[in-house]
Amino acid sequence: MEMTIWHEYVKRGGPLPEWPYPIRYGEVNEITADVLVLGGGIAGCHAAISAAKKGVKVAVAEAAMTKRSGMGGSGVDHWHAACTNPCSNVTPEDYTRAVFDSAHGYVSGPARYIIAKESWDTLLDCEKMGVQIRDVNDEFKGADFRDEETKLMFAYDYKNRHIIRVWGHNIKPCLYNEMNRLGVQIFDRVTVTSLLTMGGKQGARVVGATGVNTRTGEFFVFKSKATIISTGGAGRLWVFAPEIIGPGAMSDLNSAGVGHAIGWKAGAEFACMEKTGHGRLSGFGYAPYSMGNTSNTYHGSPIVDANGKEVPWVDIEGRELKTVQERFLPSPGQKFQLGIGIGISSYLKEYLLNDLIRDLPERIRKGEFTLPLYADLTRLPALERRAIFGMMVANEGKTRIPIYDTFTKAGFDPDRDMLQAPVMPPEGYAMSNFWSASINTPSHIRSLAGGGFLVDWDLRTSVEGLYAAGGAPIFGSGCHAGASTTGKYAGRKAADYAMTASEPGIDRKQVEAEKTRAYAPLKQSQGGIGWKELNAAIARVMQDYCGKYKNEITLNLGLRLLKEIRETEAATACAANPHELGRLLECSSLIMVGELIMQASLARKASSVYLDFHRLDYPEMDPPEWEKLLPIRLEDNEVKVRELSFNHHLEAPCSPTYEENYQLHCGL
């Protein structure tokens, strides 16, 4: 009989497997690079490639396996903000304004403009590396969403054509090959643990980083003239329940906020860390893109109820749309539609997408529509249908094998079959993304939603030598194109800086202290808790004291509890192998990111719709005196908060327009 249950295997005397890699705790590898990239995800790979193209020596430290790691590791189907593509009717300036105004100023102006300016060029880079970005096989010839001359295919807004459908399932292997071609040194399975600073001082120039190999336990000391943080988000901060989350998670559970934590400790400034959103990406829904819905990849899908009655689509004014074609066009008078999945949580009405009727929950309650609902792709024109299931589903992250392949092998045929939507309480249908519906996640489970390093027009943080790139590390960035373009730009700028910067001086005492800290869990008695319990405890503190609703007392209690966890459970936690060691070190970063969020939440003494920020002791929403950023950092380990206008990036000493600043800084 095949044994699949671990404890049964052990009970029957099955030998315990040995650790399959050589253990080399304490062995030190010293690596010198001009530009060091921390995190080899989408942003990190582009950063490494553009820095290497400048002719400097580049090293990448990646906790997982660069070839497939990170949120973009399993693919991409929507390429946003391609404003300069030959068919686009949206300028980079218009796009940036639309995002900035929709987010009410709580986004990074420089990052957003850089994204809009360079998204198309970066996509062309990817094409050269082997990613299919056009309908070269003429599978969709004649479709409304295709441009016959360029063979580009567009999503969402077929009139304005700034979002491109791509066959991005192989994007990471392509980036990986390009890095190898350019001679980038890649250190996989090395989880970064700290930044090194001149003289070991907080706020001083960053001159490298340390890391631990999670297979062999070796220690890494990276010495670099410039360093880029591109470690993604903090996927395990509010919830740690892998058995529940499993493949249902959107966020990358490998990303534990390490980049944020080490930057915070090094004295870099952050913005909007108080902004959180409901934890819909953390696995309490269904496997991404696996259920009937009308969001994102499934935009435009017809939804029918259990009796075959179709749910109407409406434009931004609530007017019913009679044809499928209209679902993909702006409403009369509307300039353009922004499209979703770009890292903002609020939209000005003038940039919204067409959608299902907005009172669907009430109509379900009244019995007008009967559950379950289904996505009936057979009602779409054949080319639309195949663009969704076959092209987008198959190239979108996490869909190629789990959804497209599995469903197809099981007999699902979109020409014939419908996809059921999850059965939920009616309010679950208020948002078109049914598989991740917020109703499935309790309100105290949150996600980081846009907070990160405050960067300037060079994408440099407030600390010399330290740059940020990617969807999560940069405050108010977002999306795959955002990660790619900010990576490419930061790589270029970091290389420029490295070419003239002085030699980095490593503080040996700082290295030794970090090495001692990193290996401490190996020396604990095996009576201490392990990383999973620790992670769960941190998440529980975040849920209880920094959930959707908070006040001065809960936040201070949360800070006290995180400190206690650090000094007791975390200080005595133990690791049995290099993998567990890496995870434990990530837990100490999670504690730091939790503290950073709570400190930022204490600093904002007002509630805000735009930040989805709810202070029970300051319930007034967005009072005018709090309409500002509150950059936060550590100085001599004391928390310092200042005020900054939303438009700071267009105020002196910056130039007054996006384009002037871009031209002054872009380094092209």
* Residue count, binding to ligand FAD (CB under 6 A): 41
Distance CA 495, CA 501 (A): 10
Whether 616 contacts 279, CB under 8 Å: no
Q: DSSP character for 546?
A: S
Query: Which is nearer to ligand FAD, 41 or 283 (by Cβ)?
Result: 41
Out of 59, 63, 184, 654, the only residue in the binding site for ligand FAD (CB under 6 A) is: 63
Q: How many CA atoms lie within 13 A of 107 on its CB side?
A: 28
Cβ-proximal residue to ligand FAD, closest one: 41
Residue type at position 63: A
Q: Is 491 in the site for ligand FAD (CB under 6 A)?
A: no
Distance of closest approach, residue 477 Cβ to ligand FAD, in angstroms: 8
Tokens of 145: 């969403």
Q: Is 77 in the site for ligand FAD (CB under 6 A)?
A: yes
Q: Is 384 in the site for ligand FAD (CB under 6 A)?
A: no
- 26 sits in the region (left: phi over 0; alpha: psi -120 to 50; else beta) called left
Q: How many other CB atoms sit within 10 Å of the CB of residue 499? A: 14
Instruction: For residue 653, say if its preceding peptide bond is cis, omega within 30 degrees of 0.
Output: yes
User: Which residues, other chains included, contact 394 with Cβ-Cβ below 8 Å and sequence gap of 6+?
Assistant: 169, 400, 403, 404
Distance of closest approach, residue 461 Cβ to ligand FAD, in angstroms: 15
Distance of closest approach, residue 635 Cβ to ligand FAD, in angstroms: 24
Query: Which is nearer to ligand FAD, 47 or 537 (by Cβ)?
Result: 47
Q: Is 70 in the site for ligand FAD (CB under 6 A)?
A: yes
Whether 15 contacts 6, CB under 8 Å: no
Out of 398, 488, 583, 649, the only residue in the binding site for ligand FAD (CB under 6 A) is: 398
Out of 37, 40, 95, 598, the only residue in the binding site for ligand FAD (CB under 6 A) is: 40
With tokens 């299931």, the residue in question is 389
Q: Using alpha carbons, select from 373, 381, 367 the residue that is nearest to residue 421.
A: 373
Query: Which is nearer to ligand FAD, 109 or 235 (by Cβ)?
Result: 235
Q: Is 250 in the site for ligand FAD (CB under 6 A)?
A: yes
The window from 72-80, 139-147, 305-313, 322-330 that contacts ligand FAD (CB under 6 A) reads: 72-80
Residues 163-202 as x/- pattern, contact with ligand FAD by CB under 6 A: ----------------------------xx----------
Distance of closest approach, residue 464 Cβ to ligand FAD, in angstroms: 22
The window from 390-398, 493-501, 535-543, 554-562 that contacts ligand FAD (CB under 6 A) reads: 390-398
Residue type at position 441: T
Out of 43, 82, 114, 237, the only residue in the binding site for ligand FAD (CB under 6 A) is: 43
Whether 210 contacts 569, CB under 8 Å: no
Q: Is 252 in the site for ligand FAD (CB under 6 A)?
A: yes
The window from 51-59, 136-144, 460-468, 476-484 that contacts ligand FAD (CB under 6 A) reads: 476-484
Q: Which of residues 285-314 bind ligand FAD (CB under 6 A)?
A: 288
Residues forming beta bridges with residue 25, ordered by sequence position: none
Out of 31, 39, 167, 432, the only residue in the binding site for ligand FAD (CB under 6 A) is: 39
Q: DSSP character for 403?
A: I
Q: Using DSSP, state whether 304 is helix, strand or coil.
A: strand
Query: Which is nearer to ligand FAD, 46 or 665 (by Cβ)?
Result: 46
Q: Is 481 in the site for ligand FAD (CB under 6 A)?
A: yes
Phi, psi of 246 (to 5 degrees): 35, -135
| Distances from the Cα of 4 to the Cα of 8, 18, 19, angstroms | 8, 18, 20
**Helix (H) / strand (E) containing 510:** helix 508-523
Q: How many other CB atoms sit within 10 Å of the CB of residue 444? A: 19
Q: Is 218 in the site for ligand FAD (CB under 6 A)?
A: no
Out of 33, 58, 62, 357, the only residue in the binding site for ligand FAD (CB under 6 A) is: 62
Query: Which is nearer to ligand FAD, 158 or 187 (by Cβ)?
Result: 187
Q: What HEC string does 612-640 produce?
A: CEEECCCCCECCHHHCCECCEEEECCEEE
**Helix (H) / strand (E) containing 244:** helix 242-245
Q: Is 433 in the site for ligand FAD (CB under 6 A)?
A: no
Query: Which is nearer to ligand FAD, 71 or 431 (by Cβ)?
Result: 71
Whether 290 contacts 441, CB under 8 Å: no
Distance of closest approach, residue 355 Cβ to ligand FAD, in angstroms: 19
Query: Which is nearer to ligand FAD, 299 or 604 (by Cβ)?
Result: 299
Q: Is 514 in the site for ligand FAD (CB under 6 A)?
A: no
CA angle 104, 105, 109 (to 5 degrees): 140
Q: Using alpha carbons, select from 63, 463, 46, 36 the residue that is nearest to residue 231.
A: 63
Distance of closest approach, residue 535 Cβ to ligand FAD, in angstroms: 14
Q: DSSP character for 4?
A: -
The window from 59-67, 126-134, 177-185, 442-450 that contacts ligand FAD (CB under 6 A) reads: 59-67
Distance of closest approach, residue 283 Cβ to ligand FAD, in angstroms: 11
Distance CA 621, CA 643 (A): 18
The window from 99-107, 455-463, 477-485, 644-652 that contacts ligand FAD (CB under 6 A) reads: 477-485
Q: Is 71 in the site for ligand FAD (CB under 6 A)?
A: yes
Residues forming beta bridges with residue 210, ordered by sequence position: 194, 221
Is residue 420 exposed (0-12), middle (13-18) or buried (19+ Cβ within 10 Å)?
middle
Distance of closest approach, residue 581 Cβ to ligand FAD, in angstroms: 12
Q: Which of residues 319-348 bind ligand FAD (CB under 6 A)?
A: 341
Q: Using DSSP, state whether 468 is helix, strand or coil.
A: strand
Distance of closest approach, residue 190 Cβ to ligand FAD, in angstroms: 6
Distance CA 554, CA 558 (A): 6
Out of 80, 161, 223, 493, the only residue in the binding site for ligand FAD (CB under 6 A) is: 80
By DSSP bridging, strand 446-448 and strand 452-453 are unpaired
Q: Using alpha carbons, select from 506, 477, 472 the residue that is nearest to residue 195.
A: 506
Query: Which is nearer to ligand FAD, 61 or 555 (by Cβ)?
Result: 61
Residues 347-366 as x/- pattern, contact with ligand FAD by CB under 6 A: --------------------
Which residues in this chain contact ligand FAD in the complex, by CB under 6 A? 38-44, 61-64, 69-72, 76-78, 80, 191-192, 230-232, 250, 252, 254-255, 258, 288, 341, 396-398, 470-472, 479-481, 483
